[in-house]
Amino acid sequence: MPDNITIEPVTRIEGHAKVTIELDKEGEVSDTKLQILQVRGFEKFMEGRQIEHAPILSPRICGICTEAHHVCSAKAVDDFFNVNPPEPARKLRRLLHYAGIIQSHILHFYFLASPDFLFPDAKEKRNVMGIVDEKPDLAKKVIDARKKAKQLTKSIGGKEIHPTTATAGGMTKPITERERQKHMKDMESILEFGEESVELGRNLIEKRKELLDSLGGVDSYQMALVNDGYHEVYDGQLRILDSQGNIVNEFDPSNYSNHIAERVQPHSYLKFPYLKKEGFPEGGYRVNALPRINACDEFRTEKAQTLLEEFRSEYGKPLKPLLYNYARLIEIVHLSEECMKLLEDERITKKNKIRTDVNLDKGSGEGIGVVEAPRGGLFHHYKANEDGILTDVNLIVATVQNNIPCEKDAHQIAEKFINNGEVDDEILNHIEMLIRSYDPCLSCASHAAGGKHPLKIEIVDSEGSLKTSLDNFKNGK
């Protein structure tokens, strides 16, 4: 009888992950570890650079969450210089951010998650090529919708990935009137696609409804931005819910360090954030699309509000991970509606409307930016010296905040389905399916564990000669 059962790699996620299921002498599950084995270390890479360069550097963390990192970093730099961008600039940032979330949600649902629902009994088809082969018309719609969302991010951000236009005090360029008109039409198409996607997702989940209760869902807190109670992804207050969906706290994001603490574990390069004032619950806390639609009172847009009411009529405010997929589809509809409203403002085409003058010689010593990335709350916290050189960078990304409940959910599934050391492909895919529902973005999330498990990174040139080394990343970074 094996001592461990290993899933390596976890498939159809961004990055590299491994699951180790430990068995006792009777073959029963004793522990489950979600192990992230890649190292990025962007927090250390950014130290020593000028703070105004941070919005250009930070999107390189990831090619999927790139827009979220860009606007979040720009907000932190705004805070450092104590500037408030003009309203048209904030609208451009919102458009960039919303389109980034839309394209990410499309990518996740159709390329990574939906094969589990479309082909539950055909392992060889559970991938994007299975969709292309079996549903070519749907595949074309998916590609077209994501392409249109990415074209909007390119128009605003200057590049298709790793945008460059959000800067201290605003944006460096507007969009053209021609682009504005084009993207308004494109958003109408994406909205229609989003509504079709909700219907498809609802039907697929309904067909596999028996999995909703059996796959995960340990009790935990939830956290998301809200703005006067409305669903929000760019600006607002952080609201915390308990496992029943009751509001237990709400605070300004700039005070996040009074509420959120981080620790490291020896088995993973991911950090393990937890809520300080609410204690350290067994399940930690959750972020992402499902906590966002649980936390808000309502949506500002009509179609999304109708979908929210239907969702809550059916499910209430659930913690069931598979419903993350459903929540993302509702957000596609909502953010498409929001983009259409933002694109109505002609001021986003005027260069003299999108920038506030910034005195780069005057900074506060630190700056904090917070947004909701596609996968949940994202925090950029910068400290700089009197010359504006970054001395400390802390990034708390969405995936690490889901780390504790995701690992606990995986353990719950393993404990439920694995007995006497016996396991099959279906059980292992259930665990992967659970992890996929969180849509982890591990390039963003991976750090290096410190403390008892120091990490030494050596950087060498093409000849193998040592150029520099980074010993024992501090604070678990």
384 beta partners: 390
What is the predicted pLDDT for the residue at 363?
85
Confidence of residue 392 (pLDDT cuts 50, 70, 90): very high
Cα-based torsion angle of the residue sequence 50, 56, 62, 66 in order, rounded to the nearest 10 degrees: 130
Q: What is the pLDDT of residues 424-442, one digit of tens each?
A: 999 999 999 999 999 999 8
Sequence spans of domains, the chain? 43-417
What is the predicted pLDDT for the residue at 455?
44
> Is the pLDDT assigned to residue 461 strictly greater than 70?
no
Range with the poorest average pLDDT among 213-217, 323-327, 435-439, 454-458: 454-458
CB-count burial class (<10 Å; 0-12, 13-18, 19+) for 357: exposed
Q: Which residues are annotated as a binding site?
A: 43, 62, 65, 395, 441, 444, 447
> Is the pLDDT assigned to residue 468 strictly greater than 90?
no
- pTM given for the model: 0.93
60-89: average pLDDT: 95
User: Does CATH place domain 43-417 in 3.40.250.10?
Assistant: no
∠ CA 102-400-40 to the nearest 5 degrees?
90
Q: Which residues are annotated as a binding site for Mg(2+)?
A: 43, 62, 395, 447
Of the two residues 471 and 11, the one the predictor is more confident about is 11
> Is the pLDDT assigned to residue 135 strictly greater than 60?
yes
309-331: average pLDDT: 97
Task: Give the closest residue to 224 by CA, choosing from 93, 390, 371, 438.
Answer: 371
Max CA distance (Å), the chain: 71
Mean pLDDT over each residue of the chain, to the nearest integer = 91
Q: What is the pLDDT of residues 139-192, one digit of tens each?
A: 999 999 999 999 999 999 999 889 999 999 999 999 999 999 999 999 999 999
CB atoms inside a 10 Å sphere around CB 467: 8
- Cα(first)–Cα(last) distance of the chain, in Å? 38
Confidence of residue 123 (pLDDT cuts 50, 70, 90): confident
Question: In terms of DSSP bridges, do strands 237-241 and 376-384 run parallel, antiparallel, or are they unpaired?
Answer: unpaired
Task: Give the closest residue to 381 by CA, choosing from 397, 371, 392.
Answer: 392
> Is the pLDDT assigned to residue 297 strictly greater than 80?
yes
What is the predicted pLDDT for the residue at 447?
57
Q: What is the pLDDT of residues 82-106, one digit of tens each?
A: 999 999 999 999 999 999 999 999 9
- Check: CB of residue 233 under 8 Å from CB of residue 93: no
What is the predicted pLDDT for the residue at 338?
98
> Is the pLDDT assigned to residue 477 strictly greater than 80?
no
Q: Which residues are annotated as a binding site for Fe cation?
A: 65, 444
> Is the pLDDT assigned to residue 280 strictly greater than 90?
no
Q: Which residues are annotated as a binding site for Ni(2+)?
A: 65, 441
Task: List, in order, residues 6 or more apart from 463 with CB less than 8 Å away.
Answer: none
Structure tokens at 94: 């919102």
Q: Count Cβ neighbours within 10 Å for each residue of 426-443 and write b for 16 or more, e otherwise.
A: ebbbbbbbbbbbbbbbbb
What is the predicted pLDDT for the residue at 64?
86
Percentage of the chain lying above the pLDDT 90 cut: 78
12-28: average pLDDT: 92
* 3-state secondary structure at position 379: strand
> Is the pLDDT assigned to residue 371 strictly greater than 90?
yes
333-339: average pLDDT: 98
